[in-house]
Structure formats: C-alpha cells, structure tokens
Structure 1
Amino acid sequence: MASATPKFLKLPENSPLSLRDQICEMISAAITSESLAHDRPLPSCRDLAEQLGVSRNTVFAAYNRLVDLELLVSRDRSGYFVAPQTAALQKAQSRENQNACQAVPCPVTFQPGNLMPVVNPLDWHKYPYPFIYNQIDPDLFPVDGWRECTRQALGRKQMPVWASDSVESDSPRLIQQLRQRLLNTRGIYADDDEILITLGSQNALYILGTIFARSGKPIALEDPGFFGARNAFRLAGSELIGVEVDDDGIVPDSIPAGCQLVFTTPSHQFPTMVTMSQKRRETLLEAAVVKDFLIIEDDYEAEMNYVAASSPSMRAMDRTGRVIYVGSLSKTVSPGIRLGFIVAHRDIIRQARIARGVMMRHPPTIVQEIVALFFQLGHYDSHLRNIERRYNKRWHAMNRAITRHLDMLRRTDSKGGTSFWLTGPQGFDASELALRLRSRGVLVDRGQDYYLSMNDRRSFRLGFAYVPVSKLDAGVEIIAAEVKKLL
C-alpha cells in the first residue's frame, strides 16, 4: 500500500543525538501524539530519506530500532506500521486525556441562550421502550431498493450529473419526481422555480426565518408547538408570539395583528396530533388576507392517517400566494438522509435559494439523485404503502394500550400520526414522570419542551414508530404504574 510522506515529520533542531536516534525520537513522538494512522504504512525508507536529507540506511536502522522497541511492526511487502499494542494503548490514553482536556476553561463566555436542545440520550435505541419523537423502525427501510438506486446513481453515465458543481441549483430529476409523485397527492401543483430542496424541514424553517427576519415583524407559532421551528426562528433573530391551540388546531382569532408569518402544522398538530378541520383551514386563510400575514404550512405526517382520509393541504386551497409549504422525507424515507423541500411563490423561493447558497450552497447532489431514482423506480410508493400498513397496526395497538392502562389521563382526539399526546390533572408533573421512566428503561418526550414559556409540565408525548407491536402494551403498562404513583 502506497503512503504519502507526512510533511510534519521533521528532525529536531540542534539535537545531540545521532541521526538514527533523531529519527527514532521523531517517529515515537508522532506515535504518542496520534499523528500517524494506525492502519496505514509509514513512509518508505526511500521517501523518508529524501524528505529528511539522510541516507536510506539511516532510516532503515531507525525503523528496525523502533521494531525492537515494539513501537513498530514490519509486514512483508507492505512496510512498517504502528504496532497494534501501541495503537490500543494510545486509544485508551486518548479517552483518559479527553476528560482532562475538558477541564480547560473556554476562552469565550457565552450568554445563556433560549434555544431548546434535544434532551433525549444519544443511545436512545438501547432503551427497551423508546417512546420518543422522530425515530423510525430501521427494519422497515427498503435496503435492497436503496442499494439499487445508489448503484445506478454511482454509474459512470450518471457521474457527470452529480460530480460537478451545481452552484445553487437542484436535481431536475428530483424536482420532477416530487411534483409527480408527492406534491400532487397533496393537491399541490407547482412549477420548477417554485420548489427548493433543503436539508430537511429544520433547514427549511431556518432559511425561511432568515429571509423574513429583516422585516422586523414577529412570527406567530402554535403553543404548544414544534420546538425546532421555535429554535430556527429565534436563531434567525425574530420575535416569537405563541398562539393557543384547541381540538381543531391553531386558533385564528388569537393571532395578533402585525405578524409577518404564522407557523402551523395542520395535518397533525405538533405535538398534540389534532387535525385541523376544513372550516378552520378556510378561516385561517381568510385571516391571512385580513391581517396581512403569510402562513408556513409544515405538512407533518400528512401521509399517516388511520381513521379518516387525509385533509387537503392549505397550499392546495390557497389562491393568494400566502401559503409557504414545507415538507420532509424524514418519516417516509429516513431522517438520516436529511432531505426536505419548500414550495412557495417563485419570488420567495428566489430569496430562499440565495440564503441557502450562503449557508451550504445546495444539498448533496448525489443524495438528490439517489432519492430521485428511489421515486422514479417505484421504491418510494412501495415503501410508503408498507410503512402506512405497519404504522396503522401500531397506532391501533397503541391506542388500545393507552385506553387500557392510561384512562386516568386526558388525550387529544388523534386520527393518525406516529405519537399520542396525554395530559394529567392540575399538579401532575410529566417532567418528573419522564425522569422516573428513564430509570426503568422507558423514554418519553416531556411536554414542557413544546411550550413557548416551558411553564406547562402536565403533558407528555408517546411516539411509537420505533417500538415493536409486541412491546407496546408492556411499555405503556410501565408508564401507567409510574403515573399512578405520581397521582
């Protein structure tokens, strides 16, 4: 295996040691500092001799001395490598030193922020009952279909499409597939210049927050609502106003005058999961004209309906160009792929494209091409039918488990989605419940995180997309036992 000579390898200055020992000192210091890869050969004797200006025999002697000291190993026809036992020791020491490094004070002082971090542990998947938001069952992902699309996208004929700089443009093929196979199912018909690809809906919201922050007008959001939107708009510098939510979604009469934008999740309100009625949608669209604001419609889990048919999107109902539609492939494909999109008036998309270009130019074109093929070859439609069938089964099983074990709590009237929202009586502390449940291997989303002022601790959210059907009832029974203790 060829190895480029690291340029940082230099002999120490004014050293009293022999050249051989100077090379030994140089190599051992590089090993100690983990500057040499453990799985790649060191420079050949010839290459290192040329770089250092010494003879090959001197380098050869130094290498063999380090082999005798068990710092290096020599592999036939491959070269010299860092010894495996030395590599293992360095990894252990690195972990020990990491904690020591954390004790060094940061030279910059940050003021306390008002952004809401994700509070779930990184190893959430190791918990027996992770009833938490935004997780999908990896067993449902169509690996074979994705592998086939990746293979085709990486073919030499396709390479010119994604290997070059796309400037600020998107994959024409993906735009076409979104129009034909996804947007039209929501009743949305948009031209190419009315669609922008983003790194998920979170990125879409930050882009929108950035381009509208200059107006200086506040943004109204559902309260409780999606903390990701709250974070995005706050980071962009906007003032936020919470608007109450009832069993029909956001209340238009509570939206104050003077707002630039109103953020809403009408298909399944995040986090209460209620679906906005047709009449309420019409009322909100009328209010947008009267009070002169734009609507950001996050079409959260629009495909996941198990009791009633999907409601039409507000973008499809809009006749004034005031609705900005935000969608994501996180739930229907995978959250790790990080692809979403904005559909809006072309003037808004033009500004959003410029802002996206400043942030990260454009989402990876190779990923866009793979997803386009995923749509084009029918894998998306097949996968969507599969997850709808599986989640339908889980939703009904979860609904039965909650009815059986948690009837002492109030829950919102949900017709679909991948979670349930439950609320206790006055004095009930769902945040304390979440702490107790974690010690028993159960994770839930605490409700206070979804409120703008984080002052309501009575509610919590149960997501079931990752938990198998066979474990749902047992997990809910554990929750019920802890709820009774708190009550």
Structure 2
Amino acid sequence: MVHEIPSEAFVLPGADRGSLQQRIRQMVTEGVLSGRFRPGERMPSSRGLAEHLGISRLTVTLSYAELVAQDYLVAKGRSGYFVSDNAPRPQEMPVQGGRAEAAEFGRIKGLFSGREGVARPADWEAYPFPFIYGQADVSLFDHQNWRQCAVQALGRRDFTAMTADYYEGEDPLLIEYILRHILPRRGIAAREDEVLLTMGAQNGLWLTAACLLGPGRVAVMENPGYPGLRNILTTSGAEVRCIDVDADGLAPDAIPQGVDLVVTTASHQCPTNATMPIDRRRALLEAAGREGFLILEDDYEFEMSFLKPASPALKSLDAEGRVIYAGSFSKSVFPGMRLGYLVGPPSFIREARALRLMSLRHPPGHIQRTMAYFLSLGHYDTLIHRMKAAFKRRRQVMEEAISAHGLTVAGQGGFGGSSFWMRAGQDTETLATRLRAEGVLIEPGRTFFDPSRPDRQHYRLGYGSIPAAKIPEGIARIAKALA
C-alpha cells in the first residue's frame, strides 16, 4: 500500500527564506534529506496542499514541476506526484549515546564566550521605534543594482573570479578600485602589497591584534569605546588600558609610556562621535614616533560625513609607517556582507595575510566580485549620496525632537554619523527594559565603558534604521520614560 504524506506535514518557512515557490521546494527537499519523506511515498495533491497552506494551486504545481526536474519527485500521470527513487538519500550515521565532556574542556571555558557586546533583540525590525545602530535600512538600499551586479558576477565570464580559491590573494578588480578610488578619498596612497581584504572591520581588528599583541604587550583603547574591540584586545593576552576621551577624542598626552599599540576611532569616535582635530592627530603621530608605539585607526564610518567634509585619515598623515588603517563596507552597504580592508606596511600586511590564510583563507569570491562591480559602476557612490541625504534629514528631525523634550546630548559630533550619544540621570539598562515594552529600542551605554569603571548613565540613539516620521514619537516616549 502506498503511503501518502499528509498536507499537515508541511509548514511553510518564513518569508525571509525566499519566494513561495522557493519555500515550498525547501519544505520538500528538507523532508527528503532528513528522511521524513521516503522514496515511493505520495505527495499531497496540488489542490490539497494549496488549500492547507492558503496559497495558489498554480504555485504548488510549479514548485512540484521544479522538484521533478531536480529529481526529488516523479510525476505518475493521474496518480499524482511521488518522492523519487533517485532523490538524494539522508546519510545514515550511528547515533552516539551520552553527552560526556572531557574535563580538559573546562580549561577553555570563558576564554572567548560570555563576553559582553552591544545587545539588541534579533527581531528589532518588529519594534516601531528602533533607535539602534549599524543595521541596514531596506528603504535606502539599492536592491535592483546590487542584484544586477550579483547576477553579473555569477556569469560565465566571471566564473573563475567567483569560484577560484585565491589562497592568500583576493579579487584584483576590487583591490584596484579600493586603491584608486576609496583610499584616495581619505588622503591615503597605497600599493597593492599594502592592502588586505578582511571579513569586515571586526576581522581586521582581530587580525591586527593577533599579529601585534600577546602576553607582555600593552594596548590602549578609548574609554568609552567599542566593546568588540575590548574583547579582542583582552583575549590577545595583552594588558589593556582604557584612556578617557574628551570632546576631541583621545588625548595623546594621556597615553602612558611603555605602550605597544594604541587603537583609536579618530574620525567618528565610538560611541561619542567626537572627531579628532588635525593638530591632535599630528601630536598623536609624534608621540608614536617618540615613544615607539603603533596605531590602529578604525575608520568605520567616514562615508557618513554629511555636515562637513571628512577630515583626512590619520593614516594619510603618517610619514613613518606607524598607522594600520581599518576600513569597512559593512556600515555603508549592509552589515551582513562582512567585507572590509586593512592598509599598512608591507611587512605587517604579509604577516596578516598569512594569518588570514590559516583562519579563513579569503572573503568569498562572489561577494568580492559583486562588490567590485557595485563600486566600479557608480552604484556605491549613488547609495552613499542617498544615505547621506536621508541621515541628514533624520538628524535634523532628531535634534529638534531632543531639544523639544529637553533630553541631554553627551556627544553628537560635528561631521555627521548615524547616532547620538546621550546622558540620562538614571540606570539606562533599566530604562531600556521599560522602553522595550513601549516599542522603543535604545542601546544602554554600560558595555562601552571600562568594566573597572562602569557607567550606567549613558545610552546611544541610532537613526540609521528608523524613518524620520517616527523619530518625534519615539523621542517623546523616551522623554516620558525618563520623567
């Protein structure tokens, strides 16, 4: 007797998994590959499955036809569709009993896990007032041209660029554009052997710390500063010293002696948005030459300078080769892309390249070539122009709302960016919990500060992911909660 798979065995995946046809195909293939649907079993009728899922019968029929072409299903005339005898089989593996764990694993627990970062709910898009930082705005992104560039990168002509193992190398088309167009905007002139692609700025920071730090070394970071950087520095085994920033960012005369590496966000200090003046940048470089330390410049948001032109990068003023520059496309395009770059002396890039080869080889070829086309065809510049205009408008609305409700700004910078650094007269983690119930997301500031000197009075408000029309009401709810 032929067993028929009931319609109730199918649950349609979420809309984020693709079109309706793609989701139906996914349901079937996952069922086959997991062993739940077996060869010879009859599929539900197209009409029955369509009624169960509440979709068009034609959609189910087209999906079944594609699954037949892929040999997951076979059509048998008026009898319907059946799981094909030639469908991929689930791999049979013996199930191991028990959940024992060797005592030796206890030695590594907590080395990397359990460290704090900037927390935000995974479903942040479901909140009506998401004042969070660093997420892509679907209303601003250039979907059509990105898709065209991705399709072009998938073409036969670019097959090698997409599929090849670059080993320690990277896509020459993308490197060429970075050298000729992106870096000159920051005043940086570099050669090919001075640039390394990374899986975003975070990966660049880690590669740098792994190459330059270790037990017995001393690293300086800004306070408040990026929590992800603090985690990287502390796990390197180096001693980490947190230096308080002022309205102009990190002060060179506050850096102690005996330091090996100083990490700074000179253009847009994280999270206060302070911009380090040119004179202070020169003083920092002079201190580096005098004291013999290196500088890691995290220039994560220079593209968002829409109030005034961006200042030259610290790296552009570096005459002694003491600055390693970390840039990223993740903030300006979308964070899930994970694509960035390091610029530094050839000796450093050579070492970082070897470390990247051992850990992840290189960023995916298809992403590299798609980004190269997106840049070279002018779509990137158009996107940046659109984002700047939108952010400038949102910032104006936000300034007006903050002023109208009497909220306290602790730092907003003078060049743009996409966030405000705020101060409250109370514990902002408790405040964030209350606001979440009101549909408002903010980022409490405690994790940005030196853990030995925690500060619970600050919070960050990002405006990159919230429409201008929703900002006044969101700020009003924050003011009400503070009151």
* TM norm structure 1: 0.78
Tell me if structure 1 keeps the 8 A contact 2:195–2:342: yes
In the TM superposition, residue 139 of structure 1 has moved relative to its aligned partner by 1.3
Report the secondary structure of 1:259's partner residue: coil
* Aligned-partner Cα distance in 2 for 1:151–1:395: 35
* Aligned-partner Cα distance in 2 for 1:335–1:150: 17
In the TM superposition, residue 283 of structure 1 has moved relative to its aligned partner by 1.2
Correspondence for 2:116: 116
Correspondence for 1:6: none
Correspondence for 1:39: 28
Deviates further, 73-82 or 128-137: 73-82
Deviates further, 188-197 or 387-396: 387-396
Tell me if structure 1 keeps the 8 A contact 2:196–2:341: yes
Deviations 1:165-211 (A, max 9, x none): 11110111101111122111110010001000001000111111111
Identity score, percent: 38
* Aligned-partner Cα distance in 1 for 2:110–2:225: 25
In the TM superposition, residue 212 of structure 1 has moved relative to its aligned partner by 1.4
Q: What is the correspondence of 1:8-407 to structure 2 with a 5 Å cutoff?
A: 39-40=28-29, 76=76, 80-81=82-83, 109=106, 110-111=109-110, 115-214=115-214, 216-407=216-407
* Aligned-partner Cα distance in 2 for 1:115–1:255: 26
Tell me if structure 2 keeps the 8 A contact 1:142–1:383: yes
In the TM superposition, residue 257 of structure 1 has moved relative to its aligned partner by 1.3
- 1:269 is aligned with what amino acid? Q
In the TM superposition, residue 357 of structure 1 has moved relative to its aligned partner by 0.8
Tell me if structure 1 keeps the 8 A contact 2:219–2:259: yes
Correspondence for 1:460: 459
- 2:458 is aligned with what amino acid? S
Deviations 1:237-275 (A, max 9, x none): 322110110000012112111121111001110001111
Correspondence for 1:478: 477
* Aligned-partner Cα distance in 2 for 1:230–1:313: 22
Report the secondary structure of 1:395's partner residue: helix
Correspondence for 1:51: none
* Aligned-partner Cα distance in 1 for 2:269–2:475: 23
In the TM superposition, residue 483 of structure 1 has moved relative to its aligned partner by 1.1
* Aligned-partner Cα distance in 2 for 1:181–1:106: 52
- 2:82 is aligned with what amino acid? Y
Tell me if structure 2 keeps the 8 A contact 1:38–1:81: no
In the TM superposition, residue 450 of structure 1 has moved relative to its aligned partner by 0.2
* TM norm structure 2: 0.79
State which structure, 1 or 2, has the greater radius of gyration over its C-alpha atoms: 1
Report the secondary structure of 1:309's partner residue: coil
* Aligned-partner Cα distance in 1 for 2:311–2:305: 9
Unaligned runs of 5+ in 1: 1-19, 32-36, 49-58, 68-72, 83-103
- 1:386 is aligned with what amino acid? R
* Aligned-partner Cα distance in 1 for 2:406–2:251: 28
In the TM superposition, residue 214 of structure 1 has moved relative to its aligned partner by 3.8
> CA distance change for structure 1 residues 167 and 277 in 2, over 3 Å: closer, same or farther?
same
Deviations 1:27-76 (A, max 9, x none): 9xxx9xxxxx9514969xxxx9xxxxxxxxxx97xx69xx9xxxxx9952
Report the secondary structure of 1:180's partner residue: helix
Tell me if structure 1 keeps the 8 A contact 2:215–2:239: no
**Aligned residue pairs, count:** 410
Tell me if structure 2 keeps the 8 A contact 1:39–1:81: no
Tell me if structure 2 keeps the 8 A contact 1:168–1:362: yes
In the TM superposition, residue 331 of structure 1 has moved relative to its aligned partner by 1.9
* Aligned-partner Cα distance in 1 for 2:398–2:390: 12
> CA distance change for structure 1 residues 79 and 348 in 2, over 3 Å: closer, same or farther?
same
Unaligned runs of 5+ in 2: 10-25, 46-72, 85-98
Tell me if structure 1 keeps the 8 A contact 2:419–2:462: yes
- Tell me how large the CA RMSD over aligned residues is: 2.9
* Aligned-partner Cα distance in 1 for 2:400–2:469: 13
Deviations 1:81-133 (A, max 9, x none): 49xxxxxxxxxxxxxxxxxxxxx897755348662244211101111111012
- 2:427 is aligned with what amino acid? D
In the TM superposition, residue 327 of structure 1 has moved relative to its aligned partner by 0.5
Deviates further, 227-236 or 265-274: 227-236
- 2:445 is aligned with what amino acid? G
* Aligned-partner Cα distance in 2 for 1:268–1:282: 17
- 1:270 is aligned with what amino acid? C
Tell me if structure 2 keeps the 8 A contact 1:273–1:417: yes
* Aligned-partner Cα distance in 2 for 1:390–1:478: 23
* Aligned-partner Cα distance in 1 for 2:253–2:423: 24
In the TM superposition, residue 300 of structure 1 has moved relative to its aligned partner by 2.5
Tell me if structure 2 keeps the 8 A contact 1:141–1:383: yes
Tell me if structure 1 keeps the 8 A contact 2:220–2:263: yes
Q: 1:430 aligns with which of 408, 428, 431?
A: 428
In the TM superposition, residue 298 of structure 1 has moved relative to its aligned partner by 0.7
* Aligned-partner Cα distance in 2 for 1:264–1:114: 25
Correspondence for 1:101: none
* Aligned-partner Cα distance in 2 for 1:122–1:317: 40
In the TM superposition, residue 413 of structure 1 has moved relative to its aligned partner by 4.7
In the TM superposition, residue 400 of structure 1 has moved relative to its aligned partner by 1.3
> CA distance change for structure 1 residues 353 and 403 in 2, over 3 Å: closer, same or farther?
same
* Aligned-partner Cα distance in 1 for 2:345–2:260: 16
> CA distance change for structure 1 residues 482 and 175 in 2, over 3 Å: closer, same or farther?
same
Tell me if structure 1 keeps the 8 A contact 2:133–2:465: no
Q: 1:451 aligns with which of 444, 449, 464?
A: 449
